[in-house]
Amino acid sequence: MGFTADWLSLREPADLAARNADLLARAAACVPADAVVLDLGSGTGSTARAFAAMGHDALRWRFLDNDATLLAVARQTHPGAECVQGDLGAVEDLPLQGVGLVTASALLDLMPLPWVAALAGRLRAAAIPFYGALSYDGHMGWTPAHGEDAAVTARFNAHQRGNKGIGAALGPDSGAQSARVFAAEGFEVTLADSPWVIGPDQAALHAALLEGIAAAATEAGHATADVWLAARRASVAQSQAEIGHSDLLALPPS
């Protein structure tokens, strides 16, 4: 499955506004002065920019992604960062040398449970904290409401549980399941809500999001998602969407 730099750029302000500031600050505080932050599924480096925007602009980053196009943008935007092109599937191969914090944003919902369990086990063995932000939590709501919102959401959620590359994705369960798995490894886990709140001033993001939701819902079997899409698109300038996410911080046992 592919993500374009345009889509990641469109969603970045909403992501930044949604992130739980306390969890991000606590994650940044974990990083020893000479350590590297490894960002899994980095895309163009949005996580690093979020840390910088919240005052943590002196961190050393290692970006890991399998998309060469996104990494090229990351390399240009963050010349000081290490960029590693590779697949996340093999957790035992993650480049943890010199790493003081592992991060991921908008990634856990794409990953299967065994992958998260393997990650938690590897990070526990290495005593490295984990910050996983912006995992979709299955809740979508609009004001004003449309009669098909709940049915489209249900189909979209079913689609989110499909295979996104390395096995059936956790999708809407990713925050709660990841919290459970890290806690079982002895991590001290904090989970916090980080919803997108998209108003009429974010019409481009809202429209692109609606397209993606309708396409996924259609693929998952909703017969009239196109009708819902047309109605929702027509009212973007008068409506607000709330899309649920959660942020997770897992601190290893000492």
Q: Could you say whether residue 65 binds ligand SAM (CB under 6 A)?
A: yes
Pairing of strands 99-105, 36-40: parallel
**Does 67 participate in binding ligand SAM (rule CB under 6 A)?**
yes
Of 9 and 143, the one with the shorter C-beta distance to ligand SAM is: 9
Which residue of 107, 140, 220, 236 would you call a contact of ligand SAM, by CB under 6 A?
A: 107
Name the residue among 196, 195, 192 with its Cα closest to residue 247: 192
SS (H, E, C) 110-146: HCCHHHHHHHHHHHHHHCCCEEEEEEEEEEEEEECCC
In 3D, which of 138, 139, 153 has the Cα closest to residue 232? 153
Q: Does 87 bind ligand SAM (CB under 6 A)?
A: yes
Give whichever of 10 and 203 is closer to ligand SAM, judged by the CB atom. 10
Least Å from the CB of residue 134 to ligand SAM: 6
Among 28, 83, 88, 249, binds ligand SAM (CB under 6 A): 88
Tell me which of 14, 91, 96, 110 binds ligand SAM, using CB under 6 A. Answer: 110
Is the Cα torsion angle 167, 173, 174, 178 positive or negative in sign? negative
The answer to whether residues 7 and 67 touch, using CB atoms and an 8 Å cutoff, is no
Query: HSE on the CB side for 59, CA within 13 Å?
Result: 32
Please, what is the minimum distance in Å from the beta carbon of residue 89 to ligand SAM? 5
CA–CA separation, 32 vs 52, rounded Å?
Answer: 16
Tell me: does residue 247 bind ligand SAM (CB under 6 A).
Answer: no
* Smallest distance, ligand SAM to C-beta of residue 154, A: 22
Q: Nearest distance from residue 111's CB to ligand SAM, in Å?
A: 8
Q: Per CB under 6 A, does 16 bind ligand SAM?
A: no
Binding-site ranges for ligand SAM (CB under 6 A): 3, 8, 41-43, 46-47, 65-67, 70, 87-89, 105-107, 110, 165-166
